[in-house]
């Protein structure tokens, strides 16, 4: 029975992770990012490449779920999923011809898949985020000593990067993107507009190392300011909000900047949203049985 439950869980979580990546890249229009309209500011990326990259990671997420199933956060688990994640990066590069399409997403989604698998795929959003943070806070003794763009930017601007965001339990998701996604739905806007609002909320609050790397501190300042204007106007579904969203896209192109870190966290947000929905559905089914 355990093997059957494990197989179902790892396939479910892998499917949700891959679908979250697909949903993120298909979301249109996104400022500076690849979407169905164009490639944003990315000359080396396209919608077909991003979709191929997402599909290539299915096995990676399955393997992370398998080693994490019903396990407690630990250094051993942290190092094992990191090893699988690094193998997943190689698979991604093979699929894209050497282009970095989802390296940041492998990190964030990998941790969240591990967290969800440790709870057998059932739980509330806050539980998944908190457990992912516990896993991330364990030291990986085998992490490569490479000076990445993210590390260079973190040191130059003295900001928190993807590692610190994960160790915090993904607070930008908990405080901004997930509440914005849910709140937008409740307000009656279309699903795509709700997801765009969630992305904009991340741009408004996150010190995105991708924006800083490509456009510098002024690009980050301008993008945050305009993103707040979108939200203050009532979101992308309003005339004023849509106007500011176009302005945000123009600003990204002017600085040749891209909110890639926010895109990764949006995919993570959509993943958490999907798997939390399964728990809520299970609760309703149980309540229906208890109260026929």
pLDDT per position in the chain (292 positions), as tens?
Answer: 568 999 999 999 999 999 999 999 999 999 999 999 999 999 999 999 999 999 999 999 999 999 999 999 999 999 999 999 999 999 999 999 999 999 999 999 999 999 999 999 989 999 999 999 999 999 999 988 877 888 889 989 999 899 999 999 999 999 999 999 999 999 999 999 999 999 999 999 999 999 999 999 999 999 999 999 999 999 999 999 999 999 999 999 999 999 999 999 999 999 999 999 888 776 666 566 445 5
In the block, tokens 């050497």 appear at: 98
CB 135 within 8 Å of CB 73: yes
* Dihedral (CA of 174, 39, 244, 28) sign: negative
Would you put residue 58 in left (φ > 0), alpha (ψ -120 to 50) or beta? alpha
CATH code at 2-290? 1.10.4200.10
The structure tokens listed for 216 are: 């510098």
Q: Cβ(120)–Cβ(157) under 8 Å?
A: no
In 73-190, where does DSSP find H-type helix? 75-96, 103-118, 125-136, 149-157, 162-167, 171-172, 178-186
- Domain spans, the chain: 2-290
Which of the 8 DSSP states describes residue 29? S
């Amino acid at each position: 029975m355990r093997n059957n439950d494990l197989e179902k869980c790892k396939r479910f979580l892998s499917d949700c992770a891959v679908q979250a990546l697909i949903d993120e890249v298909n979301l249109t229009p996104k400022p500076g990012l690849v979407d169905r309209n164009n490639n944003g500011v990315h000359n080396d990326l396209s919608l077909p490449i991003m979709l191929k990259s997402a599909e290539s990671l299915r096995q990676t997420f399955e393997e992370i779920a398998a080693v994490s199933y019903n396990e407690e956060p630990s250094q051993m688990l942290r190092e094992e999923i990191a090893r699988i994640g690094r193998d997943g990066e190689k698979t991604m590069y093979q699929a894209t011809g050497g282009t970095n399409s989802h390296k940041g997403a492998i990190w964030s989604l990998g941790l969240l898949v591990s967290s969800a698998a440790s709870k057998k795929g059932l739980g509330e959003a806050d539980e998944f985020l908190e457990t992912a943070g516990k896993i991330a806070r364990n030291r990986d003794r085998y992490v490569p000593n490479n000076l990445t763009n993210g590390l260079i930017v973190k040191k130059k601007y003295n900001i928190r990067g993807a590692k610190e965001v994960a160790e915090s339990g993904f607070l930008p998701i908990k405080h901004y993107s997930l509440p914005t996604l849910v709140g937008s739905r409740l307000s009656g806007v279309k699903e795509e507009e709700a997801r765009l609002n969630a992305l904009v909320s991340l741009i408004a609050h996150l010190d995105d190392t991708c924006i800083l790397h490509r456009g510098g501190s002024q690009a980050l300042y301008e993008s945050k300011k305009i993103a707040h204007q979108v939200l203050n106007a009532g979101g992308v579904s309003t005339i004023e909000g849509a106007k500011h969203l176009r302005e945000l896209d123009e600003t990204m192109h002017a600085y040749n900047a891209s909110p890639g870190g926010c895109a990764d966290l949006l995919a993570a947000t959509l993943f958490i949203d999907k798997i939390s929905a399964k728990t809520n559905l299970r609760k309703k089914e149980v309540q229906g049985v208890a109260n026929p």
